[in-house]
Amino acid sequence: MNSRLDYAALVRAAKRLDTIQTFSKVRLALLSDAATQQFVPLLRTLLHRQGVHAEIYEGAFDGFQIETLSPASGLYAFAPDVVIVLNAVQALRASYAARTGGGREFAEGRLGTIASVWDAIHAHAPKAVILQSTYVMPYERFFGNFDRKVPDSLYAVAAWLNQRIAEEARVRTHVLIHDVEAVASWNGRREWFEDRLWDMAKSFCAFSLLPEVAKNIVDIVLSLRGRVVKCVVLDLDNTLWGGVIGDDGVDGIKLNAHGDGEAFYRLQAYLKELLKRGVLLAVASKNEMENALLPFEKHPDMLLRREDISVFQANWSDKAENIRVIRQTLNIGLDSMLFLDDNPFERSLVRGVLPEVLVPELPEDPADYVRAIAELNLFETTSFSAEDVRRAELYREESVRRSEQGQYADADAFLKSLEMKLVAARFDCFHLPRIAQLMQRSNQFNLTTHRYTEAECEALMHDPGVLPLYAKLSDRLGDHGLIGIVVLAPDGEELVIRDWLMSCRVLARGVERHLMNLVVAEAQARGCTRVCGEYIQTAKNGMVREFFEQFGFTKIGDEPGHTLWILPVSAYEPVATFIATVPETAQ
Amino acid sequence: MANADTHQRIEVIFRDILDDETLVLRPEMTAGEVENWDSISHIDLMVGVEREFGLRFTTAEVAGLKNVGDLEALVEKKRAASGK
């Protein structure tokens, strides 16, 4: 299975990191009741390998309660993007031993402390995301198996705290969990606990497992910065079922809930859950379309149905070409696609032609597929919204639109027929998860690519000095959901467009024109005479380089990768669109 | 004086962890004389030596080490006792 990361090699590599290859920076603060010196170089190295340069602040050992409460502390002067709170069960064990009341009382006190640390951080660093650890389950079971029945035992206290930490984090969007207990259990708590290292160096685990903890944090940090798998592209024969449909027929392929087809059934069940949480599925198969569809339509044990597949490519072109077609249809980045294929030839072809696509090795035995994929932890996310649940449906509606489009004389006639309705409103609590998600995910239509977290979006929502707007679009064929964000900041005579981003699902429909009409009307209503805008170049947002120009803005600043634009309100003629603005409830 | 095998293998570990390919260990050497040998890398060195020889030091043994010579002697003693 997957090989472990090597502690010594990572520590060595940490000494040779250059900053030239990295293109983005993150400020991490690490607060712990264990020592973290051994841990920091690992975080640094693993982030560097992903192109992220980490500035890391280490809080004083076991001093973070005081540090988080004091507004003048080094922590807040550091201005962290992410605060990692790492609580060691070894420290919990020591306080537990010194408790005066009952175990449950002790646990409640500890939970109160943890929540007050979060709230202090949030009060003094409202933009920071907090990553709270879980407690690793201790090895002592004072009552043996009966331990779980005794609410006072250390074992039960740790379990209770983990449960309650998760519950408290659910009501705070700025708190995410980094599940250290999951890392320890998966790798083995027998190896995890090294009491000697705790005694000598206050290390919370064996050094051999430190890289696994670091990787877990790195996965979350990357996800906060927009790394996300949006679509899984699937091979069919011997990946989604056993055998070759073209040769074996629908009765001959291996696929069932028990027996020799269970491995494939398990993979489908796994994919179905991913689909429910918003990951799109696509097919790239070397098959006749008619054959490829057969199991989806006729096989009683197929968990995945035709409507679960957003783009279905079955033909004799090479797989890289088909992945390109899927990418274009879904309008997503190649680096947000994962390709699963049992055939090593196809995997290496795709890796060679499309190096951005994630192509994991699949084990020889299909029984090991799900485990191999799950171990890579590829589906990390920092939010889950109502939009995710509907995503596959949204894309399905989109494909109906595309097929209808051909029936109209021209694009305008088609757009008119859609009867589009748009809601534009100030950020509100209900939409925050989706707003933050769009902030983190949209790459192409994004003028400034500020990656605001959910906590930062919430801060914008409360800030009377800015006008943060979201836009939702629906039409005759369905609801697109929340697809655009425009953050405006009035500044005297000027209305400044701080951010403007849109989901690529809704390009070429006039949404941006409609929104620009609204922005200029807003400027007028506020008595502003000019609208100002900014474009910050990234590797992916070339499509909006000349965005302002089409609306008659004049370029007033032109540095490499960064342009500034201005438009006199009086010079603007509203652009015709086929979209009606409606209030929130009418949609 | 430790035997050549013990000495060489410990030296490789030290060079590796302290990131100094030219480091030459002498028995009377202490942490204060060697660049990068601080309290953090000390634990890495101990764990690295343990792993190299398949041994395990007690907390008291680690605390009792005064210099490189002590460490080499401790490894020798443990190797002799365990047959490694």
How confident is the model over A148-199, as pLDDT tens digits? 888 899 999 999 999 999 999 998 989 999 999 999 999 999 999 999 999 9
Query: Which residues of chain B are within 8 Å of residue A203 when distances are taken between CB atoms?
Result: 43
According to DSSP, the residues that pair with A282 across neighbouring strands are A233, A311
Contact A38 B40 (CB under 8 A): yes
CATH architecture observed for domain A231-375: 3-Layer(aba) Sandwich (3.40)
Query: What pLDDT score does B1 carry?
Result: 57
Tell me which CATH homologous superfamily contains domain A400-586: Gcn5-related N-acetyltransferase (GNAT) (3.40.630.30)
Structural domain boundaries of chain A? 7-224, 231-375, 400-586
User: Does B40 reach chain A within 8 Å, measured CB to CB?
Assistant: yes
A104-129 confidence digits (pLDDT tens): 999 999 999 999 999 999 999 998 99
Is the confidence metric ipTM above 0.85 for this complex?
Answer: no
> Does the fold of domain A231-375 match that of domain A7-224?
yes
> Any alpha helices (H) in chain B, and if so which ranges?
4-18, 39-53, 59-63, 68-82
**Number of Cβ atoms within 10 Å of the Cβ of B84:** 10
> For the residues of A56-98, what is the DSSP string, one character each?
EEEPPTT-HHHHHH-TTSHHHHH--SEEEEE--HHHHHHHHHT
User: Does B22 reach chain A within 8 Å, measured CB to CB?
Assistant: no
SS3 state at A475 = strand
User: Does B1 reach chain A within 8 Å, measured CB to CB?
Assistant: no
Domain A7-224 in CATH 3.40.50.2000? The answer is no
Query: What pLDDT score does A21 carry?
Result: 60
Query: What pLDDT score does A587 carry?
Result: 43
Beta A420-426 vs A467-475: how paired, if at all? antiparallel
- A→B interface, C-beta within 8 Å: 8, 11-12, 15, 37-38, 196-197, 199-201, 203, 207
Chain A interface disruption, residue of B36, B47, B52, most A CBs within 10 A = B47
Answer yes or no: are the C-beta atoms of A422 and A471 closer than 8 Å.
yes
Residue A288: C-alpha distances to residues A237, A291, A293, A533, B31 (Å):
12, 5, 9, 50, 70
Total domains present in chain B:
1
Beta A530-536 vs A562-568: how paired, if at all? antiparallel
Per the structure block, which two tokens stand in for A30? 């690490």
User: Does B61 reach chain A within 8 Å, measured CB to CB?
Assistant: no
Q: Which residue range is the domain that position B59 belongs to?
A: 4-82
Taking the CA atoms of chain B, what radius of gyration do you get in angstroms?
Answer: 12
Query: Which residues of chain A are within 8 Å of residue B17 when distances are taken between CB atoms?
Result: 8, 11-12
Distance between B52 CA and the closest CA of chain A, angstroms: 12
Contact A8 B62 (CB under 8 A): no
Chain B interface disruption, residue of A42, A196, A199, A207, most B CBs within 10 A = A196
| CA A409 from centroid of its chain's CA atoms | 40
Tokens 């929340």 belong to A482
Contact A203 B43 (CB under 8 A): yes
Query: What pLDDT score does B10 carry?
Result: 95
Q: Taking the alpha carbons of A145, A150, A153, A155 in that order, is the dihedral positive or negative?
A: positive
Residues of chain A scoring pLDDT < 70: 1-3, 19-22, 585-587
**CA A452, CA A434: separation in Å to the nearest integer?**
12
**CA A448, CA A442: separation in Å to the nearest integer?**
11
**What does the angle CA A418 – CA A424 – CA A426 come to, to the nearest 5 degrees?**
160
| CA A507 from centroid of its chain's CA atoms | 22
Distance between A157 CA and the closest CA of chain B, angstroms: 29
Laid out side by side, the sheet with A52-58 consists of A52-58, A24-32, A82-86, A129-133, A175-178
Give the CATH number for residue B12. Answer: 1.10.1200.10
**CA A283, CA A298: separation in Å to the nearest integer?**
17
